[in-house]
């Protein structure tokens, strides 16, 4: 048996953490869930969007956009050239809230366009015609390029006023990018739906600022979603070794990376002793150890009464789908679904009320709730 030795300082830190955040150790789900394989044979499905006819668009990180309709996978042509390196590739995909009338599709991807070798995160909009992307417009491209392979982000969300948000990770330049509003990366951006900069963005008029920035001090955000009741934008991001976070995104706010963090360097050394500071937004929840969160969905569907009102988050590291049970803005309980099924890259509630998830090395699955509890079984 191995025994752990704690210093007095360690015990103080543990006590402080217990006061700062309720212990929410993850447990198996109280209910049985099964799944139906809907789209198989996918490698790294990154994002899912549901078209009005019930078909879906799926991004593969490798650069392929797939239209799945009537049981068949069709490759969409006209996809932008993608800089595939490390965590970079073809990333998120979201429809415009008024897609039925304007047909706009929004895609984030790693692009080599612009200054310097390598690539950086870009967002474009396009329309779909006979399985081809047309009327393509690059709305924003982070710069400069770098050959580093980490921390591209990137997720997309619209708010209730029609503003477009997207995330870009700090590209492995933690001491240069996230705290500097004159540089891209480590940011959440807000645009009008045509790519123009809203006049009331927080850094409009500031000397040399990147005026598309809405919030800063982020590490690698791979979850971004509209809260269905409050209208707030919720985000989650990867910490280093520990310190993954859930944040509510506020105008002009600093989320701290790397000035404050609950994580450590991957070699176990300290990044900073600070977990909070005046003027820096604290996360509403943080994970230690890291789960490597990817994808996020608020569940509003009556098809899943035991999930309704709560949050689903994919875990890349531990290969499960996490249910975060909420009381207001607090995570009060965590449960894991589909343990060891695979790396959950994305999770979405479709317009028909069913939940779909993208699992690496498998494909797109549809969640099915079995009408019994484990104790009853």
* pLDDT tens digits, one per residue of 233-264: 999 999 999 999 999 999 999 999 999 999 99
Mean of the pLDDT values across residues 286-309? 97
Please state, in angstroms and rounded to a whole number, the distance separating the CA atoms of residues 184 and 110.
14
Sign of torsion, CA 277 283 289 290? negative
Confidence (pLDDT) at 377: 46
Provide Rg for the chain, Cα atoms: 20
Active site members = 151
CATH architecture of 77-290: 6 Propeller (2.120)
> What pLDDT sits at residue 115?
86
Q: What are the start and end residues of each CATH 2.120.10.30 domain in the chain?
A: 77-290
Which range has the worst mean pLDDT, 4-18, 151-165, 221-235?
Answer: 4-18
Q: What is the mean pLDDT of residues 126-136?
A: 98
Give the Cα separation of 232 and 125 in Å (integer): 23
Give the single-character DSSP code of 338. S
pLDDT tens profile 309-319? 999 999 999 99
Confidence of residue 30 (pLDDT cuts 50, 70, 90): confident
pLDDT score of 372: 64
Residue 100's Cβ-count burial label (10 Å; 0-12, 13-18, 19+) is: exposed
Is 59 in contact with 65 (CB distance < 8 Å)?
A: yes
Query: What is the band of 23 on the pLDDT scale with cuts at 50, 70, 90?
Result: low
- Torsion region of 52: left, alpha or beta (phi above 0 gives left; psi -120 to 50 gives alpha): alpha
By the 8 A CB rule, do 136 and 123 touch? no
């Amino acid at each position: 048996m191995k025994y752990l030795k704690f210093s007095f300082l360690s015990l103080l830190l543990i006590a402080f953490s217990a006061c700062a955040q309720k212990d929410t150790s993850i447990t198996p789900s109280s209910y049985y869930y099964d799944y139906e394989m809907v789209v198989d044979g996918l490698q790294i499905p990154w994002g899912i969007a549901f078209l009005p006819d019930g078909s879906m668009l799926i991004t593969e990180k490798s650069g392929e956009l797939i239209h799945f309709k009537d049981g068949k996978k069709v490759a969409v042509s006209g996809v932008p050239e993608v800089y595939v390196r490390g965590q970079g590739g073809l990333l998120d995909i979201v429809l415009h809230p008024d897609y039925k009338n304007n047909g706009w599709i929004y895609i984030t991807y790693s692009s080599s366009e612009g200054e310097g070798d390598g690539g950086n995160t870009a967002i474009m909009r396009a329309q779909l015609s006979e399985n081809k992307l047309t009327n393509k417009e690059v709305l924003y491209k982070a710069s400069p390029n770098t050959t580093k392979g980490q921390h591209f982000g990137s997720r997309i969300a619209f708010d209730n006023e029609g503003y477009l948000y997207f995330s870009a990770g700090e590209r492995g330049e933690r001491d240069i990018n996230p705290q500097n509003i004159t540089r891209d990366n480590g940011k959440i951006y807000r645009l009008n739906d045509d790519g123009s900069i809203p006049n009331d963005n927080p850094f409009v008029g500031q000397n040399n600022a990147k005026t598309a920035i809405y919030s800063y001090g982020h590490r690698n955000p791979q979850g971004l979603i509209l809260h269905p009741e409050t209208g707030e934008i919720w985000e989650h991001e990867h910490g280093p070794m520990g310190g993954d976070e859930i944040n509510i995104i506020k105008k002009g706010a600093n989320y701290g990376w790397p000035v404050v963090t609950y994580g450590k360097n991957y070699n176990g050394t300290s990044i900073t002793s600070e977990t909070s500071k005046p003027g820096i937004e604290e996360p509403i929840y943080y994970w230690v150890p890291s789960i490597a969160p990817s994808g996020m969905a608020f569940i509003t569907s009556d098809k899943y009464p035991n999930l309704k009102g709560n949050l689903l988050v994919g875990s890349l590291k531990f290969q499960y789908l996490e249910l975060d049970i909420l009381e207001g803005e607090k995570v009060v309980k965590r449960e894991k679904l589909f343990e060891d099924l695979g790396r959950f890259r994305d999770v979405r509630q479709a317009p028909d009320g069913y939940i779909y998830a993208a699992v690496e090395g498998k494909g797109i699955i549809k969640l099915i709730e079995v009408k019994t509890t484990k104790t009853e079984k």
